[in-house]
Structure 1
Amino acid sequence: MELTAEIAAMRDGSGDPGRLLGEFRRAALLVPLADGPDGGLMSAVSGGIRWVYAFTDEEALARFAAARGEAEAGREWEYLSVLGARLVDVVVPMADGPAGVAVNVADADGSMFFPPVAGIVPDGSAVDLAGDGEAA
């Protein structure tokens, strides 16, 4: 099953968290590049967590652009194709503070958040573990 189908299954209550995480880790996601002097991957901070934006396809990215307004929808968006595993295993630990991945955030019924918790991100980046690797 592909990632969007696993997200739909989780949202309707019939999904399996392990399958969802597996599909997320295997998925090639589109991650837009940020504008501005710092560049990098586009993200936002909410609730003290940096959320890296990722999309399952160009249509999902286009819906995100449209949701940001006419000027954003009309411009060309540069993005990288990155495996979900690479986002959580490499990018999240490089963030300055807690970070997770927000997939298809403009899709009210198709978005999914992968927070910085044990089992999703490396233990050293998980906010639910104490410094000794035990649950906080």
Structure 2
Amino acid sequence: MGLIAQIAALRDGTGRPQALVGELRRTTLLVPVSDGGLMSAERGGVRWLYAFTDEVSLSRFLLQRGADPAAEAEYVAILGARLLDAVIPSLDGPTGVAVNVADEDGSMLFPPVAGIVPDSVAVDLVGKGARGER
């Protein structure tokens, strides 16, 4: 079952969170690049990296943000596991992943908590022996 199917299963109550995170880790994600860095937004003290499962979802997002439809989207393709285990720990502050945010029924947020990101950067482990704060 692919990531989109895992998201749908979790939303309809038949999915398992561990299976969803496992599928995220196995999926190659497209992360848009802006001004030389990974495109993200900050909300509620958390930085959210935008990630997409395909070019159609990425394009829909960019168009909603006012991008030129004729312009070629700049992005990096990265395995979800690498995004979670290597990229997020290298960034300052709590960082999660926002998948397919322009797709109302297919979007999902993966917050910076234990079981998703490494324990050393999981916000729910602050003060419990993990680094937590960056």
Tell me the TM-score normalised to structure 2 length.
0.92
Is the Cα contact below 8 Å between 1:123 and 1:133 reproduced in 2? no
Candidates 44, 53, 58, aligned match of 1:56? 53
Matched, 1:125 2:121: yes
Residue aligning to 1:90: 86
**Shift of residue 94 of structure 1?**
1.1
Query: What is the CA deviation profile of residues 68-100 of structure 1, one whole-angstrom value per residue up to 9, with x for unaligned ones?
Result: 12x444422111110111111111111110000
Gaps of 5+ in 2: none
Partner of 1:61: helix, strand, or coil? Answer: helix
Secondary structure of the residue aligned to 2:10 is helix
Letter in 2 for 1:110: G
1:99 aligns to 2:95 (yes or no): yes
8 A contact 1:48–1:98 mirrored in 2: yes
Give SS of 1:33's match: strand
Distance 1:132 1:8 in 2: 33
Gaps of 5+ in 1: none
After TM superposition, list the pairs within 5 Å mapping 1:1-136 onto structure 2. Answer: 1-35=1-35, 39-69=36-66, 71-133=67-129
TM (norm. structure 1) is 0.90
Are 1:104 and 1:110, in contact at CA under 8 Å, matched by a contact in 2? yes
1:101 counterpart letter in structure 2: V
Distance in 2 separating the partners of 1:75 and 1:48: 32
Identity of aligned residues (%): 65
What SS is found at the alignment partner of 1:60? helix
> Which string of whole-angstrom CA distances, capped at 9 and with x for unpartnered residues, describes residues 43-88 of structure 1?
110111000010000010011012112x444422111110111111
Tell me how far apart the structure 2 counterparts of residues 17 and 120 of structure 1 sit (CA, whole Å): 10
Equivalent residue pairs, number: 131
Determine helix, strand or coil for the equivalent of 2:60: helix
CA contact (8 A) 1:43 1:50 kept: yes
